[in-house]
Amino acid sequence: MKDVVKLTVYMADLSGFATVNDVMAATFTAPYPARATVEVAALPKAAGIEIEAVLALAVCLG
């Protein structure tokens, strides 16, 4: 999780936003990843939440 630099959180109902914040605080440490949260009309398979993560990885070529 330390390599996550940005999250996009898609939620079918933003009333659960406080719970998402609690989970994020328990999962990540400072510096926290950037985050955008978007309320959507529906998600595949009637999911309540979908999260997309962008990671930054160092590559050693030597």
62 inside domain: no
In the structure encoding, which two tokens stand for residue 14, read together?
């933003």
Please tell me the predicted confidence (pLDDT) of residue 59: 81
60 inside domain: no
Please tell me the predicted confidence (pLDDT) of residue 61: 80
In the structure encoding, which two tokens stand for residue 35, read together?
């985050």
Residue 29's CB is within 10 A of a number of other CB atoms, namely: 9
51, β-bridge pairs: 9
CATH code assigned at 44:
3.30.1330.40
45 inside domain: yes
Q: Is 56 helix (H, G, I), strand (E, B) or coil?
A: coil
Please tell me the predicted confidence (pLDDT) of residue 60: 78
What is the number of domains present in the chain? Answer: 1
- Per residue in 2-61, pLDDT tens? 899 999 999 999 999 999 999 999 999 999 999 999 999 999 999 999 999 999 988 878
Q: Is 12 helix (H, G, I), strand (E, B) or coil?
A: coil
The closest alpha carbon to 36, from 24, 44, 27, 47, belongs to: 24
> Residue 41 sits in which domain range?
4-55
pLDDT at 1 over 80: yes
61 inside domain: no
Name the DSSP class of 45. Answer: G
Q: Quote the pTM value.
A: 0.86
33 inside domain: yes
21 inside domain: yes
